Structure 1
Amino acid sequence: MHGRIRRRVDALPTPVSRRLRRLWLSSVPITQCAVAAGLAWWIASVALDHAQPFFAPIAAVVSLGLSLAKRWRRAVELVAGVTIGILAGDLVISWIGSGTWQIMVVVAIAMSIAVFLDDGPLLPMQAASSAALVATLLPPGGAAGIERAIDALIGGVVGILVVALLPMNPAARSRRDAAGVLATIRDAAADLASGLRAGDAEVVSDVLARARGTQGEINTMRADMAGGREISAISPLYWSSRQRLQRIAATADPIDNSVRNFRVVARRALAMTQGGEVLRPEIIEIIDDLSGAYEILRAMVLAPPGGEPDEADAARVLRTIARKARVDLVADSSMSETTILAQLRSLIVDLLMVAGLQRSSARATLRD
């Protein structure tokens, strides 16, 4: 069923299918935010009988957000920022009254306290917005100020509880992110080999642009891997996944490094193609083989525990490519060709590390 829906979405125009996939990937965080907002409001308004406890759902939503990463930190920063803003607003406005210059003063004081306490961006922003609300719309002082601070605490706690009790599968999202980056470079490597064989600078230039455009995907991958580890620490449902998440997270640096090395290869290949230089066929073949290496690594990342291909299968493919990437290929070559082979050898080391090897073992594989 899921496969049929995915094929139908893929058949839609690209802008529409991209937006639908983005919505699907965000469906669990959206649900978490909606549930947390409602629960926080109910607890503050019904259980505690607070009048208009709008800080509670706001705190719940902001502490969760759509990103998996640093939810603990966001919740703490939010509650602290709102508390600072409310207390500063209550104290200062009660003393100097409300008005234009008073808003300036209270916002400056709240932000100054927040910046002094922490260097994160969320804390001063929440302190400033809360102080501004107190200075403009809310009556300062008394029990209302304490209730607003409690509402913010309720929202932050509810947000974390919702993550623990209604989590998304952290391993699945991390694996999907890593597989997406690997698939992008898989296709780029195949196109780069084709462009080099044809001496087509336009194709090589397009490959370089696509490789450079992966940084957003890599940043998302890193954030989701960090968020996955956080979820596995918070939620009892995924305590058993901690070791697997650690293995997935360990691939972040080598995947990132392999993409950076691929960009260097593509950039140097573009300069050669534009200058009319021809890269020797043996090196082009290595680039083409790397497309298959990225594919088996992509399949490895998506395989279920104990499934195939596994790390040993991926390492076997990469060792075959490593044997081709001999230093003597460029014994009498130009600087550009020598540089490309050197980057390819570094890239192979990165991919061997994605396949589970330590850096020393991966580098030993390339010894001539």
Structure 2
Amino acid sequence: MSGTEPKATTTDIDTPKPPLGDRVRAAISSRIGEGLERDRKGLGSIGRAGVATAVAYLFAHFVWGHQFPFFAAIAAFVIIGVSSTEKKVRKVLEMSTGVMCGVLLGELARATIGSGTWQIAVVVVTAGLLARLIDSGIVFTMQMSIQSLLVTVMPLTPSMSPGGRILDALTGVVVGILVHLLTSGDPRRGQQSAAHSLYRALEDALTQMSLAARTGDVKVASAALSQIRTTSQELVDEWRIANNAAEEIATFSPTHLRRAGDVGRLQHLLIGSDRAVRNVRVIARHEVAFLESVKGRSSHARLADALLAAHDAAVALREAVDSDGDFTDARRALRIFCSYLTPETMLRSDDGTRLGRVDHFEGVALVIQLRSLAIDLLEATGLDHRDAQRFLPSLLIAADGDTIGPRPLTREMSAVEPPATTEALELLITDRSDPDRRRG
């Protein structure tokens, strides 16, 4: 042979798969682990459902004297069985109304056409059509259909009358509501958990975006954009559902009325946080466009530092979630973030290279969007829009030979600038290339 065969490299050799037994054991172990985690998270709701069904059954049995009050237990389970993170008042009304209508329809059908195979079909179709006619909710339709079916097919007991079934159903509904309101935990817990998840996703995205700015790597910025697009809306929705459930508990539960103020603050925090997450998606898109425009010619440490400052502000906001709404540290972190937010501060490359026209346009769009992010986060801390604007440095700067930004300040332009409230804020809104200059 004229040559030798090339040696096999590690990339040419397939990694051997673990034995089948090991893979089966790993799959079973993973499945069991996930199941145990679901059990842990749902233990509270499951335990409350067991207590509610037992209490409703015993109450109807001993107080009303019903021999087999199964409708009391069923109604109580239906009320408690809804996810603990959902708002229950509307669903309770739908379910209780559906239960009552279903029982009445079933009793009417049993008295007029009897019970049997074809009667079951008639009752289910009639219940479904009537439910759709009355209300568009799926919960109402299901409950009305199921309860009418149960009344039709279950045998009558000696002590059970049509009125007794309705009384049992009402008993179950009332017991379910009381058990839910009296045994629910701290209403803020679900809100805090959802807020932590959202802010961690925000922190991860800002960290990746900062790395992309420091290295000029478009792929890292694109990955951050993809990640925040994929996860953010689901996390916002989870927080909104937790807000609804917490508001209900703080409004109706006698043991948690004192939490109403804290619940309201966390509800308000979501408004600005939702806007901030939407803004970060736009910022990530602008960063991708900016880095593609400069084509990796240089890195931008100031932009990276600004994004890290935004990350620190998000961390401070997440920590404030557990501190009864004390946003002092968060506002300090946001003030530092705001100090970066002018084009002449952020868009100078590390080697001092000036941007071209197209690059500058993309960069200014990025800076403007970052300023919008700062406003959203400041408003999330409880500031109104005008006060939040006062944290931002001025965009209307007198032009030097080496500055990037607008033309000199005029009286008309000065009129639109928000007034500074403190000496510290006054320092932020001056041209940083000339600390002695102040606005006229």
Q: Under a length normalisation based on structure 1, what TM-score does the superposition of the two structures give?
A: 0.84
Q: In proportion to residue count, which structure has more helix?
A: 1
- 1:218 maps to 236
Tell me how many residue pairs correspond in the alignment: 351
**Structure 1, residues 234-278: CA drift from partner, whole Å, max 9, x if none?**
222211111111111111111111111112222343455567745
Instruction: Give 1:288's match in structure 2, choosing from 304, 308, 312.
Output: 308
The offset of 1:103, in angstroms, is: 3.4
Q: Which runs of 5+ in 1 are unaligned?
A: 1-12
SS of structure 1 residue aligned to 2:321: helix
2:277 and 2:376 map into 1 onto residues whose CA distance is: 9
Question: What amino acid is aligned across from residue 314 of structure 2 in structure 1?
Answer: Y
Structure-2 change in CA distance of 1:121 and 1:91 (3 Å): same
SS of structure 1 residue aligned to 2:58: helix
Q: Which runs of 5+ in 2 are unaligned?
A: 1-28, 348-354, 395-440
SS of structure 2 residue aligned to 1:236: coil
Which runs of structure 2 are paired with 1:187-202 in the superposition (5 Å)?
A: 187-202=204-219
RMSD: 3.0
Is the aligned partner of 1:337 residue 2:357? no
CA contact (8 A) 2:75 2:169 kept: yes
Structure-2 change in CA distance of 1:285 and 1:151 (3 Å): same
The offset of 1:138, in angstroms, is: 4.7
1:152 and 1:341 map into 2 onto residues whose CA distance is: 60
Which runs of structure 2 are paired with 1:98-247 in the superposition (5 Å)?
A: 98=115, 102-138=119-155, 143-211=160-228, 212-247=230-265
Structure-2 change in CA distance of 1:95 and 1:158 (3 Å): same
Question: What amino acid is aligned across from residue 298 of structure 1 in structure 2?
Answer: R
**Structure 1, residues 137-167: CA drift from partner, whole Å, max 9, x if none?**
4559x95433222222212211221123222
2:31 and 2:301 map into 1 onto residues whose CA distance is: 38
CA contact (8 A) 1:86 1:127 kept: yes
1:57 and 1:99 map into 2 onto residues whose CA distance is: 25
Structure-2 change in CA distance of 1:352 and 1:191 (3 Å): same
- 2:72 maps to 56
The offset of 1:186, in angstroms, is: 1.1
Greater shift, 333-342 or 40-49, is seen at 333-342
Structure-2 change in CA distance of 1:190 and 1:133 (3 Å): same
SS of structure 2 residue aligned to 1:345: helix
The offset of 1:32, in angstroms, is: 1.9
- 1:360 maps to 386
CA contact (8 A) 2:210 2:303 kept: no
- 2:62 maps to 46
- 2:267 maps to 249
1:15 and 1:265 map into 2 onto residues whose CA distance is: 39
Percent of aligned pairs with the same amino acid: 30
**Structure 1, residues 181-238: CA drift from partner, whole Å, max 9, x if none?**
1122112211221133334444334323332213222222111121111111222221
**Structure 1, residues 38-86: CA drift from partner, whole Å, max 9, x if none?**
2112212333232433332232232222224322222221111011112
SS of structure 2 residue aligned to 1:164: helix
- 1:7 maps to none
Structure-2 change in CA distance of 1:195 and 1:100 (3 Å): farther
1:246 and 1:233 map into 2 onto residues whose CA distance is: 11
2:273 and 2:48 map into 1 onto residues whose CA distance is: 30
Question: What amino acid is aligned across from residue 177 of structure 2 in structure 1?
Answer: I
Structure-2 change in CA distance of 1:215 and 1:145 (3 Å): farther
Question: What amino acid is aligned across from residue 248 of structure 1 in structure 2?
Answer: L
**Bigger relative CO (Cα 8 Å, ≥ 6 apart):** 1
Question: What amino acid is aligned across from residue 268 of structure 2 in structure 1?
Answer: A
The offset of 1:18, in angstroms, is: 6.8
SS of structure 2 residue aligned to 1:237: coil
Question: What amino acid is aligned across from residue 135 of structure 1 in structure 2?
Answer: T
CA contact (8 A) 2:293 2:362 kept: no
SS of structure 2 residue aligned to 1:283: helix
SS of structure 2 residue aligned to 1:49: coil
2:146 and 2:226 map into 1 onto residues whose CA distance is: 40
Is the aligned partner of 1:324 residue 2:340? yes
1:271 and 1:137 map into 2 onto residues whose CA distance is: 67
CA contact (8 A) 1:28 1:168 kept: no
